[in-house]
Structure formats: structure tokens, C-alpha cells
Amino acid sequence: MNAEAEVHHSEHIPQWKKDEIKKIVDGVHSHKVVGIVDVRGVPADSLQKMRRNLLGKVEMRMVRNTLSTIAFDSLPEGEKAKELAKYVDGQMLIVYTNDNPFKLYKLLNATKSKRAAKGGDIAPSDIVIPKGPTSFKPGPLVGEFQQVGIPAGIEGGKVVIKDTKTVVKQGEKISAKLAEALTRLEIMPIDVGLNLMAAVEGHMLYKPEDLGMDEDLLRDMFAQAAAHAFNLSIEAGITTKDTIEPLIQKAVMESKALAVNAPIFEKDVMDLIMSKAEMEMLAVAKMVAGKENALDDELKAKVQ
């Protein structure tokens, strides 16, 4: 599209659409983090409750997908948020926050709950039926379970699941009959909540797999990295506010060791030199202790 055509096209965009696009762009530039959230399957009343619970922490905007795409595409080249255009799909909303992406991910995850599966749902994770008894009495239910791959049987007058079985793999579609069986077994496999698809902070784009790390593991990794950096700084003699005191202590210890081994007769190391000399003397005394008249009585008492 040439410049003249672009101007002509923009003239025919209603003002309210231009305003919506501008609000999206302004939100990107006035917040530290912007993200795309999938809200498919979330009832309207639940969404309103989630919005209220996140008020003051996360700002949410539900805008037509076409306008969202135009807004992100309009960002200058080099702005990472421009890449969010490719995540605009289905039922979604835009979120803004001044917290970091990890905090945003945690806040959104906290909104999630479980619901019963319906035919056609996609399994968010492997659905596993555990081995064990159920509360059902023998009847047609055994055959219904078996038809959908659940290893059911009868023991002790009750329906039992004979073996632990994965009936649906992550990403697979759940059939209507299996969904009904899962509901009977009170297995609620479907997540209902705000699913973060992608978030941008500065020049970094984060996906859920980047943000879903275990916090304790992440804390341990940072602690380990800090310890390695500290040890490297000590060995390399790099002075910082954290290493200056240990480096001075290390230098003092090394200088004393050098003075003792040289030996250099300074007042600060004289007691160490004398102790070292006595230990060496006793070591020699032990070597000759068996020889007649090699040691006087005082030395004999020390080496015995």
C-alpha cells in the first residue's frame, strides 16, 4: 500500500477505533510490562471477579483482535512489544503491569481453578485415572468406563479401577463419553483462568515456559551463581564491597604463612615461628627416641 492509499485508508477508520488503538499503544509505553492473555472458557462473571481481584496490580483491556493487531504492528521497529501481534488470537485481552513478568505470571496463575471436562476440550496435561476403589455399585457403569479406556472391574461389591491409566495425553481432544466418565469419577482436568500467552518487558519477550520455573529452584540457582561469582572474585583478587574484607583477610593469612616459612622474624609471627620450630623439633625427637642417650628427660616426656 503506497503512502497516498494509507492516508486514504486511515481517513475511513472511525475515530473510536483510532482512540482504542492509541490507548493500547499508550499503555505499552506507560507500563513496564505488557502481555497477551487467553481467556477462552472463562465465564463473564468469573472474568469480572478476576478483574476486581487484580485491580491495582494488573490493568486489563479487552479490545477487538483486529485493533490489537493494528496497535502492536504500528509500534516502531525494534520495540519488542511489536512481536505481541502474532499472539493475538481467539478470546484474549491485553494486560499491563509495573510488576515484573514473573510476578504477573504468578498473579494470573492464582486466578485458575478446575472444572469438569466437556466433549471437545483439549487436555491441558496428561489425564491419569489412579488405581483404586470407587463408590459405585456394580452395573452398566463398568462397561461405560471400559469403552473409554478406563480399566474398570468389580471387587468386593464395588466398581474398582484395576490399574493406573493415562486416558488422554496433553494436547489431545477429550471425547464426550470420556468427559462424562471423568465427571463421574470427580476428576476436574480443565483449567479455568487467565492464561498468559506472552509478555514483554523492555527488550525481552517471555513465554509461559520461561516464567513457570519453581521459585525455590530459581532462588537456589541465583544463590549458587552468586557463590561462584564470589569465589571467582576472591581467587582473581577482584575488589568489590563484598570481597574487600575477605581479600584483606586472605592477604594477611598468606603473608603470615610466607613469613613463617621464610622465616621472617617479625613480632606478629614470632609465636607461629616458635610453634612451628617446636613441632619440627618434636618430630625429629620421635624419630630418634629409640636411640640411647639421644634425648634428655624433658624431651622424652614430650614425645611419649
pLDDT over 70 percentage in the chain: 94
Q: Is 290 in the same domain as 145?
A: no
**C-alpha distances out from residue 172 to 167, 229, 295, Å:** 10, 45, 89
Amino acid at 197: M
**pLDDT range class, residue 134, cuts 50, 70, 90:** very high
What's the CA gap between 60 and 97, in Å, rounded? 9
**C-alpha distances out from residue 89 to 7, 50, 181, 235, Å:** 27, 21, 31, 53
Based on the structure, what is the number of domains in the chain?
A: 3
Q: What angle do CA 101, 17, 59 make, to 5 degrees?
A: 25
Say if 230 falls within a structural domain: no
Q: Is 29 in the same domain as 74?
A: yes
Q: Is the pLDDT of residue 130 over 70?
A: yes
Q: Is the dihedral of CA 56, 62, 67, 70 positive or negative?
A: positive
Of 266 and 239, more confident: 239
Q: Is 16 in the same domain as 164?
A: no
Work out the mean pLDDT of the chain and round it to a whole number: 88
Rounded to two decimals, the pTM is 0.58
Condensed to tens digits (0 to 9), the pLDDT of residues 161-199 reads 999 999 999 999 999 999 999 999 999 999 888 999 999
- How are beta strands 190-192 and 113-115 bridged, if at all? antiparallel
**pLDDT range class, residue 283, cuts 50, 70, 90:** confident
The pLDDT of residue 30: 96
Q: Is 164 in the same domain as 98?
A: no
- Max Cα distance, the chain (Å): 117
**pLDDT range class, residue 11, cuts 50, 70, 90:** low
What's the CA gap between 245 and 263, in Å, rounded? 26
Condensed to tens digits (0 to 9), the pLDDT of residues 75-120 reads 999 999 999 999 999 999 999 999 999 999 999 999 888 889 999 9
Q: Are 116 and 153 in contact (CB under 8 A)?
A: no
Q: What is the mean pLDDT of residues 31-55?
A: 92
Q: Is 166 in the same domain as 37?
A: no
Say if 34 falls within a structural domain: yes
Task: Enter the C-alpha cell of residue 217.
Answer: 529452584
Q: Is 198 in the same domain as 66?
A: yes
Q: Is 157 in the same domain as 55?
A: no
The pLDDT of residue 7: 38
Q: Domain residues for 253?
A: 243-303
Q: Is 183 in the same domain as 144?
A: yes
Q: Is the pLDDT of residue 207 over 50?
A: yes
Q: Are 24 and 68 in contact (CB under 8 A)?
A: yes
Task: Enter the C-alpha cell of residue 6.
Answer: 494509507
The pLDDT of residue 258: 86
